Chains A and B, each alone.
Chain A
Amino acid sequence: MLFAVFLPVLLAIFIPYLSKWKENIHTGFFVLLAPLAIFIYFIFSIGNGFDPVWQKYQWIPSLNIGFDFYLDGLSLLFVLLISGIGTLVTLYSIYYLDKSERLDQFYVYLLLFMTAMFGVVLSDNVYVLYTFWELTSISSFLLIGYWNHREGSRYGAMKSMLITVFGGLSMLGGFILLHLVTGTTSIQEMIAQADVILQSDYFAAIFAFVLLGAFTKSAQFPFHIWLPDAMEAPTPVSAYLHSATMVKAGIFLVARFTPIFSGDEWFFVIVSGVGILTLCWASYMAVRQTDLKGILAFSTVSQLGMIMAMLGFGTKTAIYAAVFHILNHATFKGSLFMVAGIVDHESGTRDIRKLGGLATLMPISATLAFFGTFSMAGVPLPFLNGFYSKEKFFTAATELPETSIWLAELLQQAIPYLAVFGSIFTFVYSMYFVFGTFTGHKQLEKLPAKPHEAPIGMLLSPMILVLGVVVIGLFPNMVNSTFLAHTAEAIYGKPVETHIKFWHGWITPLFMSIAVVVFGAILAYTRKGWQGIYTFLPGKLSFNKAYDFIVDQLEKSSARITNRYMNGSLRRYMVLILTAILIGAFSTLWITDGFALDTSDIASVTIHEVVVAVAMAIAAISTIFTRNKIAAILILGVVGYGLSLLFVLYRAPDLALTQLVVETITVALFLLCFYHLPNLREQTELASQKFTNVAISVGFGVLMTTVAISAHSTKGFETISDYFLEKSYKLGGGDNVVNVILVDMRGLDTLFEIVVLGIAALGIYALIKLRNKKGAEK
Chain B
Amino acid sequence: MEIIMSVLAGILFTTGIYNLLQKQMLRIIIGTALISHGAHLFILTMGKLKRGAPPILDDAISEYADPLPQALILTSIVISFGVTSLLLVLAYRASKENGTDNMEKLRGSENDE
Instruction: List A residues at the B interface (Cβ < 8 Å).
Output: 566-571, 574-575, 578, 599, 601-606, 609-610, 613, 616-617, 620-621, 623-624, 629, 632-633, 636, 639-640, 643, 646-647, 649-655, 658-659, 662, 665-666, 669-670, 673-674, 676-678, 680-681, 683, 685, 693-694, 696-698, 700-702, 704-705, 708-709, 711-712, 719-721, 724-725, 728-729, 735-738, 741-742, 746, 749-750, 753, 756-757, 759-761, 763-764, 767-768, 775-776
Contacts and interface: CB of A to CB of B under 8 A. Distances in A.
A411 B106 CA distance: 65
A769 to B, nearest CB: 11
Most chain B CB within a 10 A radius of its CB, from A640, A725, A735: A725
Contacts of B67: 721, 724-725, 728, 737-738, 741
Nearest to A637: B33
19 contacts: A568-B107, A606-B1, A617-B8, A620-B16, A652-B65, A659-B77, A669-B88, A670-B29, A678-B95, A708-B9, A708-B45, A712-B46, A721-B66, A725-B57, A725-B67, A738-B55, A738-B70, A746-B71, A764-B85
A416 to B, nearest CB: 59
Contacts of B45: 708, 712
A742 B104 contact: no
Given A609-B1, A677-B25, A720-B68, A760 B85 contact: yes
Contacts of A685: 23
Contacts of A749: 71, 75
Given A616-B12, A704-B42, 17 more contacts: A571-B22, A578-B17, A602-B2, A610-B4, A624-B18, A633-B30, A651-B50, A674-B26, A694-B18, A697-B13, A700-B14, A701-B13, A712-B45, A725-B64, A736-B56, A750-B75, A760-B83
Majority DSSP secondary structure for residues of B touching A: helix
Contacts of A705: 6-7, 9-10
A768 B54 CA distance: 41
Given A605-B1, A757-B78, A574 B56 contact: no
B108 A568 contact: yes
Contact of B23 (A571, A760, A763): A571
Contact of B15 (A620, A662, A737): A620
Given A617-B11, A654-B70, A741-B67, A708 B42 contact: yes
Majority DSSP secondary structure for residues of A touching B: helix
Contacts of A753: 75, 78-79
Contacts of A650: 44, 49-50, 65
Contacts of A646: 5, 41, 44
A673 B88 contact: yes
B24 A701 contact: no
Contacts of A760: 82-83, 85-86
A741 B47 CA distance: 16
Nearest to B78: A753
Shortest Cβ-Cβ A-B pairs, 10 listed: A701-B14, A705-B10, A760-B82, A568-B107, A708-B6, A697-B17, A697-B18, A737-B55, A701-B10, A737-B67
Contacts of A649: 50
Nearest to B26: A677
Contacts of A620: 11-12, 15-16, 34
A705 B7 CA distance: 5
Interface of B: 1-30, 33-34, 37-38, 40-42, 44-58, 64-68, 70-71, 73-75, 77-79, 81-86, 88-93, 95-97, 101, 103-104, 107-109
B2 A676 contact: no
Nearest to B47: A719
Contacts of B50: 603-604, 649-651
Contacts of A658: 74, 77-78
Contacts of B82: 756-757, 759-761
Contacts of A709: 2-3, 6
B30 A632 contact: yes
B29 to A, nearest CB: 8
Nearest to B107: A568
A602 B78 CA distance: 29
A681 B64 CA distance: 48
Contact of A651 (B2, B20, B29, B52): B52
Contacts of A647: 44
Contacts of B108: 568
Contacts of B38: 704
Most chain B CB within a 10 A radius of its CB, from A678, A719, A721: A721
B86 A763 contact: yes
B2 A603 contact: yes
A647 B44 CA distance: 9
